[in-house]
Structure 1
Amino acid sequence: MNRSACVGPLAPTAHRKRRPLLAPSWFAAVMGTGIVANAAVTLPRSFHPLRTAALVVWLGAALLLVLLAAGYLRQGALRSHAGDPVTAQFFGAPPMALLTVGSGALLLGRPLIGAETALDVDWVLWSLGTVLGLVTACAVPYLMVTRHRFTPDAAFGGWLMPVVPPMVSAATGALLVPHAPAGQPRLALLLGCYAMLGLGLVAALLVLAMIYGRLVHHEAPAGAVVPTVWIGVGALGQAVTALGALAAVAPSALPAPYARGTEVFALLGGIVLWGFAMLWGVLATALTVRTIRAGLPFAPTWWSFIFPVGACVTATSALAGRTGSDLFVWIAVPLYGLLVIAWVVVTGHSLGHARRHLLLDPAGDMS
């Protein structure tokens, strides 16, 4: 493992330098908590108590987003984090946190805050998250090309983080398409979401190829880097989710022949990408089991287990609804149960980590 892949928020702190308390990777906790709530709404089999529990989880994600955003902005660490070749990759986490909480407002928050307020919250958070996500998707690769330097074995799952936000914008933006003014504004939003889906998906496939090349040609990843392999599952799952969500709202903006084409694209393209996600998931599972046997230290990268599995749940649920296949139902429901168990475990470790650093060592590094 090269040095650039073993610094920043991924590795245990080998030397205790005074650094900013929060790294952007911690926003993955908001992403993971938010998708646990949102995925409950998309399940092909659900019940009222689950939706109530999901509302409580969404409120927790919203509160955590406020606390992390305030803490991160207060420490003024943007420039120093941008200069770190590993930490900079996780600039994709804050915009995805905004997008996840925003979509949760529309999916879950209406009984609590009202339909109009929920819609306004989603518009604000989606707009802010989309702008930040597009900036990240352009700025981080530019920094990688012009400023950061990497060894041949430097590629890891975190490289997907800057390019995935536009896909999350596409999937969550589909919820807002029916609420956009009819005509050109609605069409522009729909087409913009498809463009962002293409931006994120093609870029993610390029990065996945680099990660696979790194896995094949160099030593297998170890320690806290391993959970980031799961981000590939999340990227592919988001693409499937976005295809299904956009096809569902396309008839409100596109003429009939093209609207029907989006449905075909969502079905065939979604199943193809879902199959690739399953392959990547098997690889990630095998690497994780291998690492657990050797010892897997806790790090913020453990949240890389949560959002990707959640995206896989929403993708599988979308295919279940589109195809009517019981196969996808039988996969989506148990997968959601696994997601909840993993979220409880990671949340418990995260709270313990925060307690140790904030109460026992207030000046310590929480990256």
Structure 2
Amino acid sequence: MATQVRTIYRPGLTGTIVDSMVQTLPTRGPRLLQSELHRPGRVFEHITPNWFASVMGTGIVATAGATLPVHVPGLHAFATVVWLIASTALVALSVAFLVHWVRHRRNARAALHDPVMVQFYGAPPMALLTVGAGTMLLGKDLIGAGAATTVFAVLWSAGTVLGLITSVAVPYSMITRPSDGQTRPLPAWLMPVVPPMVSASTGALLLPHIAEGQWRLTMLGACYAMFGLSLLIGIMTMTLIYGQLLGGGAPPVQAAPTVWITLGLIGQSITAANLLGADAALVFVGPDSGVGPDNAVATGLEIFGIVYGFIMGGLGFLMFCLALALTVHSSRRGLSFSLTWWSFTFPVGTCVTGAAALAAATGSTALVGLAAVLYVLLLAAWVTVATRTAHGSLRGELLG
């Protein structure tokens, strides 16, 4: 017998992740994609937004490698190759997702109206932002600094606009849809909340390339506003999720990997707070800044990033241990592979970038070591999940 993962849509489905429905089918030996699928067009039938989590998880391996505060021979070249893979995947999935909406509109609308799958519409904007950051950090070696900055600015703008739309539209759809009173808070609820935080952290990379004066000040203020939007709504959402875990028990076995999503908000917010704090001096400088020559505002924002990083890091430790324990708990109860396993990658990657940014702000060697250890864990998770995704896609198990 073999385990096959299929996407199944059911009206009002709650409490589990729709892409992780598992069926047990008779084993028919190795099968390639074209022999597995009766019609080539079915390749596009199940390209739902959660597929973009694979771009997020791959892109963060590249960006985290580029910012890792340790020198490892060959790491930069490896990160560049991974960024190219993520970029290719982003283009391919974007085209496939468009075809999905054109040729399989019924499935697309079903996913859009499903209370769980709609949460993953936060994945496409984060995929754009992650690949964009990789372009800025790694792509300049291949296409030049000017072209890399332009591409990054376009991807950042598109990802930011889509992320802001998602952060409003998804909660609105949940508020206005008929409720049966049995909806339980899920870690997936964080997916449409995190994109503005990713915009804030990656916006720090774009800030030095903005014209000085009011334009740069506006950019910094917008990034902090998105930081606040994502952080406050995210904390409220995490409170609901934590309360559900305590009062409602462990999530369904196949949904257990999504608990790792909580680390995405934590790690990304630490990254944003420290990167923006480091860049604040680019805005609040000199006697013409309105704050005096001692740059008090810039210093205050830098201190805020450090204090925030250590405080939020404590919460990150708790959620990391809890997510790990729940994953082990579920693995003993038959956890099988599905696209939800990509939750093991991007959130851990944000913890790498968060530790690296906090290490740069404080000079802590302990944080440098933590970033390195977390990156090793990220690599192990990415290799495992990427390999199984490729295998499942070639066999048609994730597409048919």
Same fold (TM over 0.5): yes
Name the CA distance, whole Å, in 2 between partners of 1:250 and 1:217: 42
Answer whether contact 1:236 1:274 (CA < 8 A) is retained.
yes
Structure 1 position 323 matched with structure 2 position 370? no
Name the CA distance, whole Å, in 1 between partners of 2:54 and 2:236: 26
Answer whether contact 2:128 2:156 (CA < 8 A) is retained.
yes
Q: Specify which of 206, 209, 234 is matched with residue 264 of structure 2.
A: 234
Structure 1 position 45 matched with structure 2 position 55? no
1:276 counterpart residue number = 315
Q: Structure 1: where are the runs of 5+ without partners? A: none
Q: Specify which of 201, 207, 213 is matched with residue 171 of structure 1.
A: 201
Name the CA distance, whole Å, in 1 between partners of 2:180 and 2:65: 40
Answer whether contact 2:125 2:162 (CA < 8 A) is retained.
yes
AA aligned to 1:8 is: V
Distance 1:279 1:150, change over 3 A: farther
Answer whether contact 2:17 2:254 (CA < 8 A) is retained.
no
RMSD: 1.9
Q: CA deviation at 1:218?
A: 1.0
Name the CA distance, whole Å, in 2 between partners of 1:115 and 1:274: 34
Answer whether contact 2:256 2:326 (CA < 8 A) is retained.
yes
1:6 counterpart residue number = 16
Q: Specify which of 303, 321, 324 is matched with residue 342 of structure 2.
A: 303
**Whose radius of gyration is greater, 1 or 2?**
2
Structure 1 position 58 matched with structure 2 position 100? no
Q: Specify which of 34, 42, 45 is matched with residue 20 of structure 1.
A: 45
Name the CA distance, whole Å, in 1 between partners of 2:49 and 2:221: 30
Q: Which has the higher helix share?
A: 1
Answer whether contact 1:223 1:296 (CA < 8 A) is retained.
yes
1:219 counterpart residue number = 249
Structure 1 position 74 matched with structure 2 position 112? no
Q: Deviations over 1:317-355 (max 9, x none)?
A: 111111111211221111101110110000011011111
Name the CA distance, whole Å, in 1 between partners of 2:173 and 2:180: 12
Answer whether contact 1:91 1:162 (CA < 8 A) is retained.
yes
AA aligned to 1:147 is: R
Q: CA deviation at 1:152?
A: 4.6
1:294 counterpart residue number = 333
Q: Deviations over 1:10-40 (max 9, x none)?
A: 433699xx99321100100000000000001
1:118 counterpart residue number = 148
Answer whether contact 1:224 1:302 (CA < 8 A) is retained.
no
TM-score, structure 2 length as denominator? 0.86
Name the CA distance, whole Å, in 1 between partners of 2:351 and 2:333: 27
1:189 counterpart residue number = 219
Answer whether contact 1:40 1:46 (CA < 8 A) is retained.
no
Q: Structure 2: where are the runs of 5+ without partners? A: 1-11, 26-41, 290-294
AA aligned to 1:329 is: V
Q: Specify which of 238, 258, 261 is matched with residue 297 of structure 2.
A: 258
Answer whether contact 2:260 2:323 (CA < 8 A) is retained.
yes
Q: CA deviation at 1:250?
A: 0.9
Percent pairwise identity: 47
Q: What count of residue pairs does the alignment treat as equivalent? A: 358
1:247 counterpart residue number = 277
